[in-house]
């Protein structure tokens, strides 16, 4: 028979609330009462349930994971999967478990993140950026639940944001190509109405202006960060009368799609067209040729998010916006001159 706090309280001759306070190390309980309850617990080999602890402390040690937006990356994007895995390991070591929230019925008005977070007593939420962010995200950000946004700026009393310095990404690529005497550069960017993509797009275009490199209209295309859009954008670029010397795709997945299109046209990488991606997902190391890319430090993003989350939950951090420097990783899809 499974014992409850009420059973232990009855055996010890105290109230259930007193047993809860003793289990969770509250002050204000006499040593005599503590020893009486401890003896009953020891004799019965009672183990407090998770729900009993969370009800007593108002803490669940649960962190909610939300893939925000009507259009979101979900489980499909390897970059965010690596960030989440790093986050999971770090918060796990801090004693937290993860709870993944679905937004499949959101657009039918059936639920709100804030309601569900309160229902499960989550201690905090990690929110992953998508497109067309729901109003419900702002509702939870404005609540008293600590929230960390990945690639998403949150405005609220207990929020912080974390992302790579996306404007520097394009600058690193253009600077590298310029130093290697490459001037004919094409670009496959993310969706123009996406906050994150717009920063990355602007960073590339500003860098082109800074280095005095002419922007060919037919060489500037936009996708959605996934392979098919990179393939289609590269097909359009390859229809131009003049071909670029290099292509920068604002995600590795779009770069891999572009790689397929270049090959189908009988061209070689990097001899005919050099190719650079962004994110440094694992597939870059195994493409043929291996893909040069701008690395976002996924391990650091995940660990920082975990520690920042714990600090917010413990009340040890004010809201912050942190940016991490990107790093250019050279592989076989580019060549130095």
pLDDT score, position 50: 55
pLDDT score, position 315: 85
Is the distance from CB of 249 to CB of 185 less than 8 angstroms?
no
DSSP 154: -
pTM of the model: 0.76
pLDDT score, position 110: 41
Q: Which strands form 246-249's sheet, in the order they lie side by side?
A: 220-222, 185-189, 246-249, 274-279, 292-295, 327-329
Where helices occur in 271-313 by DSSP H, the ranges are 298-313
Is the distance from CB of 182 to CB of 274 less than 8 angstroms?
yes
What are the percentages of helix, strand and coil residues in the chain, rounded to 5? 45, 15, 40
Q: Does 60 score more than 80 pLDDT?
A: no
Q: Does 111 score more than 80 pLDDT?
A: no
Q: 26: how many CB neighbours lie within 10 A of its CB? A: 13
In order of 79, 180, 235, the CA distances from 284 in angstroms are 12, 22, 21
Q: If pLDDT is split at 50, 70 and 90, which confidence band does 72 have?
A: low
Query: 61, exposed or middle or buried, with CB in 10 Å at 0-12, 13-18, 19+?
Result: middle
Residue among 293, 294, 237, 226 nearest 267 (CA): 237
- Using DSSP's 3-state secondary structure scheme, residue 180 falls into coil
Mean pLDDT lowest among 31-35, 41-45, 307-311: 41-45
Is the distance from CB of 173 to CB of 201 less than 8 angstroms?
no
Residue-by-residue DSSP string for 63-99: EEEEE-SSB--TTT-HHHHHHHHHHHHHHHHTT-EEE
pLDDT digits (tens, 9 = 90+) for 250-270: 999 999 999 999 999 999 999
Cis peptide before 270 (omega within 30 of 0): yes
Q: If pLDDT is split at 50, 70 and 90, which confidence band does 57 have?
A: low
Residue among 130, 133, 121 nearest 313 (CA): 121
pLDDT score, position 109: 47
Q: If pLDDT is split at 50, 70 and 90, which confidence band does 277 have?
A: very high
Q: Does 32 score more than 50 pLDDT?
A: yes
- Residue holding tokens 């920063």? 199
| Residues shown for the chain | 337
Is the distance from CB of 71 to CB of 43 less than 8 angstroms?
no
Cis peptide before 289 (omega within 30 of 0): yes
């Amino acid at each position: 028979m499974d014992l409850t706090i009420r059973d232990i309280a009855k055996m010890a001759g105290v109230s259930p609330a007193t047993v809860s306070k003793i289990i969770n190390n509250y002050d204000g309980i006499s040593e005599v009462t503590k020893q009486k309850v401890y003896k009953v617990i020891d004799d019965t080999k009672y183990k407090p349930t998770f729900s009993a602890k969370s009800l007593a402390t108002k803490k669940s040690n649960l962190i909610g994971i939300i893939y925000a937006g009507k259009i979101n990356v979900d489980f499909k994007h390897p970059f965010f999967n690596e960030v989440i895995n790093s986050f999971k390991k770090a918060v796990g070591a801090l004693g937290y478990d993860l709870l993944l929230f679905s937004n499949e019925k959101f657009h039918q008005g059936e639920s709100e993140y804030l309601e569900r977070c309160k229902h499960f007593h989550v201690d905090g939420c990690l929110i992953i950026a998508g497109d067309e962010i729901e109003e419900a995200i702002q509702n939870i950000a404005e609540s008293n639940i600590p929230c960390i946004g990945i690639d998403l700026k949150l405005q609220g009393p207990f929020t912080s944001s974390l992302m790579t310095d996306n404007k520097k990404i394009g600058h690193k690529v253009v600077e590298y190509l310029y130093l290697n005497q490459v001037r004919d550069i094409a670009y496959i960017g993310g969706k123009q109405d996406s906050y994150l993509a717009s920063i990355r797009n602007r960073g590339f275009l500003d860098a082109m202006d800074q280095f005095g490199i002419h922007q060919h209209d037919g060489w500037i295309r936009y996708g959605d960060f996934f392979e098919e859009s990179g393939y289609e954008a590269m097909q359009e670029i390859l229809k131009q009368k003049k071909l670029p010397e290099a292509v920068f795709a604002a995600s590795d997945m779009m770069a891999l799609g572009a790689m397929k299109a270049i090959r189908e046209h009988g061209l070689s990488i990097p001899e005919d067209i050099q190719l650079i991606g962004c994110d440094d997902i694992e597939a870059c190391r195994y493409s043929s040729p291996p893909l040069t890319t701008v690395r976002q430090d996924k391990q650091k993003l995940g660990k920082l998010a975990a520690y920042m989350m714990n600090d917010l939950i413990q009340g040890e951090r004010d809201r912050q916006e942190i940016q991490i420097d990107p790093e250019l990783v050279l592989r076989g899809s580019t060549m130095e001159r």
